[in-house]
């Protein structure tokens, strides 16, 4: 290697010694706290016995499950067919249009994230306690890569 080339190598790696760690640290710090698409299905959850509400669609079956005392809740999501998108997330949305609740006005930042689904499988997500016993449960399936709403589901008793 000639001297000029050795010097160029040295200069590049001195620059990289600053840029690489800085890039890694800044990118790490930028990870969103809520991790919006992190939640994949939780493994090995035992299904609660009662199906309180249900929605049976062409591509998926969705059940709201609870125990006898209605103190713990689960959302069971069964993909009947392979998703047409590589990955999607489920949001619990408000029914109020002013809160971004309807399908047309849906905004993920105003909704409550439930979890992420990917393939033809059964997914079970633990839901937080709800004072109304999930009288209303409006879900929106959202494709986060292209930021597109795929479907909205109202669960019925």
Partner 1 sequence: MSASYVAVGWNRQKKIYDGLIAAFCIGYLALFIMLTLLFNNQVTFETLLIRSTSTLALLLLHFILAIGPLCRLNKKFLPLLYNRRHLGVTMFTLALVHGSFSIFHFHAKGNVNPLVSTFTSNTNFNSLAAFPFQSLGFLALIIFFLMAITSHDFWLHNLTPKIWKTLHMFVYLAYLLVVMHVMLGVIQYESNPVFVIILFAGSAMLVLLHLLAASKEKRIDQMKFLVQQEGYVFVCDVNDIENRCAKIFCIDKERIAVYKHENKLFAVHNVCKHQGGPLGEGKIIDGCITCPWHGYQYLPNNGQSPPPFKEKVSTYDVKVIDNKIWLNPVAFPEGTERPGAIINN
150 makes contact with partner 1 (CB under 8 A): no
Alpha helices, H only, 1-157: 3-29
Q: Which residue bears the tokens 């080339």?
A: 5
C-alpha to C-alpha distance for 47 and 73, rounded to whole angstroms? 10
Exactly one of 118, 130, 151, 155 binds partner 1 (CB under 8 A); which one? 118
1 counts as binding partner 1 under rule CB under 8 A: yes
Instruction: Mark 55-94 with x for binding to partner 1 (rule: CB under 8 A) and - for no binding.
Output: -----------------------------xxx--------
Nearest distance, CB of residue 75 and partner 1, angstroms: 17
Q: How far apart are CA 35 and CA 89, in angstroms?
A: 12
Q: Which stretch binds partner 1 (CB under 8 A): 26-34, 50-58, 66-74, 107-115?
A: 26-34
Alpha carbons within 13 angstroms on the beta-carbon side of residue 64 total 26
Q: Which is nearer to partner 1, 20 or 129 (CB)?
A: 20
Contacts of 41 (CB under 8 A, 6+ apart): 77, 115, 116, 117, 121, 122, 123, 124, 125
Q: How far is CA 61 from CA 2, 76, 94, 110, 120, in A?
A: 68, 8, 21, 25, 12
51 binds partner 1 (CB under 8 A): no
Among 67, 72, 96, 119, binds partner 1 (CB under 8 A): 119
Nearer to partner 1, 86 or 157 (CB): 86
Distance, CA of 77 to CA of 56 (rounded, Å): 10
Which residues contact partner 1 by CB under 8 A? 1-3, 5-6, 8-10, 12-14, 16-17, 19-21, 23-24, 26-28, 30-32, 35, 37-38, 84-86, 118-119, 121, 145-146
């Amino acid at each position: 290697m000639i001297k000029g080339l050795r010097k160029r190598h040295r200069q590049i790696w001195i620059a990289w010694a600053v840029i690489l760690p800085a890039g890694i640290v800044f990118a790490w710090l930028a990870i969103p706290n809520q991790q919006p698409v992190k939640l994949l299905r939780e493994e090995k959850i035992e299904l609660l016995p009662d199906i309180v509400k249900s929605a049976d669609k062409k591509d998926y079956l969705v059940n709201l499950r609870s125990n006898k005392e209605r103190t713990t809740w689960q959302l069971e999501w069964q993909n009947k067919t392979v998703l047409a998108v590589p990955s999607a997330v489920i949001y619990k949305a408000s029914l109020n249009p002013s809160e971004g609740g309807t399908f047309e006005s849906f905004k993920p930042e105003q909704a409550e994230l439930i979890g992420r689904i990917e393939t033809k499988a059964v997914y079970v997500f633990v839901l937080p306690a709800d004072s109304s016993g999930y009288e209303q449960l409006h879900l929106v399936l959202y494709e986060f890569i292209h930021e597109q709403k795929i479907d909205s589901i109202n669960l019925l008793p």
